[in-house]
Amino acid sequence: MSQEIENTIIRLTESLKQHNYNYYVLAMPTISDREFDQKLKELEALEVAYPAYKQPNSPTSMVGGAVTKDFNTVQHDVPMLSLGNTYSKEELFDFDNRIKKLIGEGYEYTCELKFDGLAIGIKYENGKMIRALTRGDGVQGDDVTVNVQTIRSIPHQLIGDYPSEVEVRGEIFMHRKAFDKMNADRVSSGEKAFANPRNSAAGTIKMQEQSEVAKRPLDAFLYQVIGDEKEFKSHNGALVKAKSWGLPVNGDMKIEEGIEGVWRFIEQWDVKRKTLSYDIDGIVIKVNDFNQQHDLGFTAKSPRWAIAYKFETERASTVLESISYQVGRTGAVTPVANLSPVQLLGTTVKRASLHNADVIEELDVRVGDTVYVEKGGEIIPKIVGVNMEERSAKSSKTVFIHSCPECETELTRTDGEAAHYCPNELGCPPQIKGRIEHFISRKALNIDSLGEGKISMLYNAGLLSTPADLFTLTFEELNGLSKSVTNEDTGETRLISLREKSAQKIIEGIEASKEISFDRVLYGIGIRFVGSTVAKKLANHFKTIDAIEQASLEELIAVEEIGEKIGQSVVEFFSKALNQQMVDSLKESGLQMQQADNEALISTSLEGLKIVVSGVFEKYSRNDLKAEIEKHGGQNVGSISAKTSFVLAGDNMGPAKLAKAEKLGVKVISELEFIEMING
Ligand code: IVH
């Protein structure tokens, strides 16, 4: 028995340490906060009952976290502690009772939103930002000052009557919309999507390249002031002051005299949080008066004067029917859970991500299990746990596939990487088709007469295996080409043929793509980590594909915003004979392989203008119009505001947009007027 208890303690300790590492260092948690807290409480209880078995450096006596290696590690002036969590009304009222017992009646609470990001401590001397540290292990953190300086809402210089030395602490996060947009861009350039805004913010702040950080939409709220002189009597007073120094302090904060009022605030925000533009995962309750905070003091890990109430994440339980494996353009294999359909936050969920082999192992998820599915900030729902009580005795452990589900090649996995890869780059159908789909996609060669279905058809007919093959296709080969399609519901199979008109359009689309600018061709050829922005940078700098091909790693990384990872990927791409052949063949087909002279600014006629392009146009595609705007020195913006110079409107521009433009007095001009404007 005692051996069993000791083993359980060891197992829990190791598992919690790993989860801490996943959360704080990798910024990739694999279990929910609630499950983490449950495990931690289980371990705490066992350690209290069997102190002899408590392991050295147990996660129960640490704040959590660790320090990442590539930043300077700096000691916090005042340790950066975390908060105790509660998940129920009962636990919250227990907290209030503890406070009452310790300091008697006559206290008030501040209720604040609990922002779901990563903690930061920023030090100002004589009003100037001198240092920003992550929490790290609570005692020392990473010096990420250069990255924090890219966040627009955080001032480099305070204003007003700030103290000569002060540290403010808060949370860095990402707005959901900005996160979605950023993720969509990542996916379309073949990069891995971030799981949610919090991971994305945490990953971003630890990036080595400041210029990359600057491009990511980070924001912050500050919620604690640490200063030598206690000029303020209360936490609320300190935050009001901090706001007057120009710091971003959230306005949705309330003072409540009793715990009942606190509970009402929590209930309100559990509903209202869905209307916020960013994620919060709970409410933080703090005793307001600084003297009372002082009297209450701290435990080893957290203040006694504050607590975090965590909201329930929306979760459903359903049966895992099977696991399938998807192979992407880069060969990465992603396990996907096929579920019995279940309702979650108003949508029917049938599939959920299982991420990779480590996650399957960690959750010990098996086909036939009843699993819990959550939908947080994630793009697709994820499985967060298994209901072990409902596990069938007959179930067997999931074994991650060894060979590619598409081409049967043995999968590889590099040490330290989570994903399995199919190395059969040149023979694995989804990789081949994926590369061609990427090549013709909107931001690349934009051949919209082709799509996934037609590419599949051409591939199956043996007409297409690299993007270069597109340029040898003939009308005769395409006309009448057919494929059989099976109706999923009826099982019926019928033959679909490519009509003359479609065949003609495809040929025309391919021909027209020869005019597409060099940077988009470069993006289209699918070099890993070369998204459209990086492609533009490379094209602008090197001017020709030959120059990029011949560039050394040092020359590549000397380009602004090109780091080691991208540089290495470019070198590797061109070191492969087959890629060189493809590029040569594309060159021979007449694609733009050098920066056109006119791609530099044609004129400055639109300089300083912020332009929204909306609707469908007659003469140009929307992308072409946007490119024209840039070539004439203008700036493309996504939504209409008072700062918009004008809206370039085509057909089908939404009535809401039109009304907004009218309301703000923003001019709306037609395609024709625009053409006149840039030509004259
Ligand atoms: S106060 C002594 N206030 O939640 C700890 N924390 O474990 C003082 N957080 O690490 C923290 N919103 O990163 C506080 N309004 C808020 C917060 C907040 C988010 C984070 C913070 C902290 C974690 C709690």
Of 419, 318, 403, 443, nearest in space to 369 by CA: 318
Strand residues in 202-328 grouped as ranges (E): 218-227, 254-256, 280-287, 306-310, 315-327
Question: Which of the listed residues 361, 385, 420 is the one where a domain comes to its end?
Answer: 420
Mean pLDDT of 439-461: 92
Highest mean pLDDT of the ranges 111-115, 457-461, 674-678: 111-115
**More confident call, 502 vs 638:** 502
Asked if 437 and 455 touch (Cβ cutoff 8 Å), the reply is yes
Mutate to test the pocket of ligand 1, among 40, 83, 87, 173 (most ligand atoms within 8 A of CB): 83
Return the closest-CA partner of residue 353 out of 365, 337, 374, 329. 337
Region of poorest pLDDT, from 471-480, 536-545, 580-589, 603-612: 603-612
The Cβ-side half-sphere exposure at 151, using a 13 Å CA radius, reads 27
Model confidence band, residue 337 (pLDDT cutoffs 50, 70, 90): very high
Q: Based on the domain organization, do 88 and 235 belong to the same domain?
A: yes
Predicted pLDDT of residue 565: 86
CATH number, domain containing residue 614? 3.40.50.10190
d(CA 593, CA 535): 12
Q: Are residues 101 and 208 in the same domain?
A: yes
Question: Atom 16 of ligand 1 has which residue's CA nearest to it?
Answer: 114
Q: Which of 272, 291, 310 is the last residue of a domain?
A: 310
Q: Whole-angstrom Cα distance, residue 266 to residue 424?
A: 53
Sign of CA dihedral 53, 55, 61, 63: negative
Q: Which atom of ligand 1 is the closest one to the Cα of 113?
A: 15
Give the pairing type, strands 646-649 and 667-669. parallel
Band of pLDDT at residue 591, cut at 50, 70 and 90? very high
Query: How far, in Å, CA of 139 to CA of 602, rounded?
Result: 55
Q: What is the CATH number of the domain that holds 301?
A: 3.30.470.30
Any residues with CB less than 8 A from the CB of 411 and at least 6 apart, and which? 333, 401, 402, 403, 404, 420, 421, 422, 423
Q: What is the mean pLDDT of the chain?
A: 87
CA of 307 to the centre of ligand 1 (A): 9
Same domain, 89 and 215: yes
State if residue 82 touches ligand 1 by the CB under 6 angstroms criterion.
yes
606: exposed, middle or buried (C-beta count within 10 Å: 0-12, 13-18, 19+)? buried
Tell me: pLDDT of 470 over 70. Answer: yes
- Domain boundary residue, one of 420, 439, 462: 420
The structural domain count of the chain equals 6
- Mean pLDDT for 579-603 is 86
Residue 294 CA to ligand 1 centre (angstroms): 18
For ligand 1, say whether the CB of 119 is within 6 Å of any of its atoms.
yes
State the CATH number of the domain containing residue 375: 2.40.50.140
pLDDT of residue 25: 53
The SS3 of residue 636 is strand
pLDDT at 491: 73
Nearest to 472 by CA among 510, 422, 520: 510
The answer as to whether 593 is a domain residue is no
Ligand 1 nearest-atom number relative to CA 118: 13
Residue 622 CA, ligand 1 centroid: distance in Å? 44
For residues 39 and 117, state if they share a domain: no
Nearest to 442 by CA among 128, 668, 189: 189
Whether residue 601 lies inside any domain: the answer is no
Is residue 594 a part of any domain in this protein? no
Q: Are residues 104 and 215 located together in one domain of the fold? A: yes
- Give domain status of residue 599, yes or no: no
Res 559 pLDDT > 60: yes
Q: What angle do CA 562, 568, 570 make, to 5 degrees?
A: 80
- Indicate the top mutation candidate among 23, 81, 87, 114 to test ligand 1's pocket, ranked by most ligand atoms within 8 A of CB: 114
Alpha carbon distance 678, 625 (integer Å): 11
Ligand 1 contact, 536 CB (< 6 A): no
pLDDT score of 84: 92
Based on the domain organization, do 104 and 251 belong to the same domain?
Answer: yes
Residue 1 has pLDDT above 70, yes or no: no
Return the DSSP state at 513. Answer: G
Q: Is the pTM of this model over 0.75?
A: no
Task: Quick: pLDDT tens for 509-542.
Answer: 999 999 999 999 999 999 988 988 889 889 988 9
Instruction: Please tell me whether residue 50 adopts helix, strand or coil conformation.
Output: coil
Closest CA to 296 of 287, 306, 288, 304: 304
Are residues 285 and 207 located together in one domain of the fold?
yes
Q: How far apart are the first and last CA of the chain?
A: 89
Q: Residue 339's pLDDT is what?
A: 96
**Percent of the chain at pLDDT above 90?**
52
Same domain, 487 and 578: no
Match 């609470």 to its residue by tokens. Answer: 109
Residue 386, SS3? strand
- The range of the structural domain enclosing residue 468 comes to 429-515
- The reply to whether ligand 1 has any atom less than 6 angstroms from the CB of 235 is no
The whole-number pLDDT of residue 255 equals 97
Active-site residue, from 39, 54, 100, 114: 114
Partners of 114 in beta bridges: 282
pLDDT value of residue 626: 84
Ligand 1 centroid – CA 203 distance (Å):
19
User: Tokens for 574?
Assistant: 């061109």
Say which CATH number the domain at 42 has: 1.10.287.610
CA of 273 to the centre of ligand 1 (A): 17
Residues 44 and 87 in one domain: no
Residue 288 lies in a domain: yes
Same domain, 301 and 323: no
Instruction: Out of 92-101, 205-214, 476-485, pick the least confident.
Output: 205-214
Query: Which DSSP helix (H) or strand (E) runs through 130?
Result: strand 128-134
Inside any domain, residue 597: no
Span 616-639, mean pLDDT?
81
225 C-alpha to ligand 1 centroid (Å): 12
CA angle, corner 328, sides to 326 and 333, nearest 5?
50
Amino acid at 599: E
Q: Distance between CA atoms of 356 and 591, rounded to whole angstroms?
A: 38
CATH of the domain at 536: 1.10.150.20
Residues 107 and 27 reside in one and the same domain: no
Q: 679 pLDDT band (50/70/90 cuts)?
A: confident
256 pLDDT tier (thresholds 50, 70, 90): very high
Query: Token pair for residue 528?
Result: 């890993």
pLDDT band at 197; cut points 50, 70, 90 = confident
Instruction: Report yes or no on 450 lying in a domain.
Output: yes
Q: Are 293 and 235 in contact (CB under 8 A)?
A: yes
CA-116 nearest atom, ligand 1: 19
Ligand 1 site, residue 239, Cβ cutoff 6 A: no
**Strand partners for 323:** 337
Q: Ligand 1 atom 13: the closest Cα is on which residue?
A: 119
Give dist(CA 497, CA 479) in Å, integer.
8
Q: Would you tell me the crossing angle of helices 452-460 and 429-440 to the nearest 10 degrees?
A: 130
Answer yes or no: is the C-beta of 318 below 6 A from any ligand 1 atom: no
405, with CB counted inside 10 A (0-12, 13-18, 19+), is: middle
- Catalytic annotation on 177? no
Residue 643 has pLDDT above 70, yes or no: yes
Place of tokens 């996650």: 359
Over range 131-148, report the average pLDDT: 91
Q: What is the pLDDT of residues 63-80, one digit of tens each?
A: 444 444 468 889 999 999
Nearest CA to ligand 1 atom 9: 114
Ligand 1 center–CA 114 separation, angstroms: 7
pLDDT-based confidence at 600, cuts 50/70/90?
Answer: low
* Cα 162 to Cα 470: distance, rounded to the nearest angstrom: 65
Residue 581 bridge partners (DSSP): none
What's the sign of the alpha-carbon dihedral 202, 203, 208, 214? negative
Cα of 630 vs centre of ligand 1, distance in Å, is 43
The answer as to whether 170 is a domain residue is yes
Measured CA to CA, the distance from residue 489 to residue 476 in angstroms comes to 34
Q: Establish whether residue 226 lines the binding site of ligand 1, counting it when its CB lies within 6 angstroms of any ligand atom.
A: no
Q: Is the CB of 284 under 6 A from ligand 1?
A: yes
Half-sphere exposure of 305 (CA within 13 A, CB side): 20
pLDDT in tens, 560-590: 778 888 999 999 999 999 999 999 999 999 9
Same domain as 150, residue 196: yes
